[in-house]
Amino acid sequence: MTGGLEHSMRRFLTDLASRRGTVTYRVLAKALDLAPPHTIHKIGDALAALMAEDHANARPFLAALVISKARNGLPSPHFFDIAGGLGRYTGPATGAEAHGYHTQELERAWDYWGAPQKASSEH
């Protein structure tokens, strides 16, 4: 991980995983004190970096905790595009298949990242 934003985001999301929570893109931007312009774009870029790092280390996507209020609890289409590009998802960004994949990845992320030994060793 290279940037301060990614580090702060990983810490925030790891803590959230320990509570089995989710967060919207906008709330995450506010929690990380990101100022306009392009706050959601900055969040998306940082989440993409986290996904690449998680994939390279054979970990569940911590980014699964970040959801869109407008997409009925699913992450943005970009999440599915990145997961597909990394070879971990082959379906559409909407519908039952997307919901199923996201639910599975979210459960895996909560279990992995929320475990006490992970939360303390990953910081």
- The predicted-structure confidence for 46-58, as pLDDT tens digits, reads as follows 999 999 999 999 9
- pTM for the whole thing? 0.89
What is the predicted pLDDT for the residue at 117? 53
Is the per-residue pLDDT at 121 higher than 70?
Answer: no
Closest CA to 79 of 97, 102, 59: 102
Q: What is the pLDDT averaged over residues 69-77?
A: 92
Residue that wins the pLDDT comparison between 72 and 10: 10
C-beta of residue 42 within 8 angstroms of C-beta of residue 69: no
pLDDT above 90 covers a percentage of the chain that reads 80
- The predicted-structure confidence for 83-103, as pLDDT tens digits, reads as follows 999 999 999 999 999 999 999
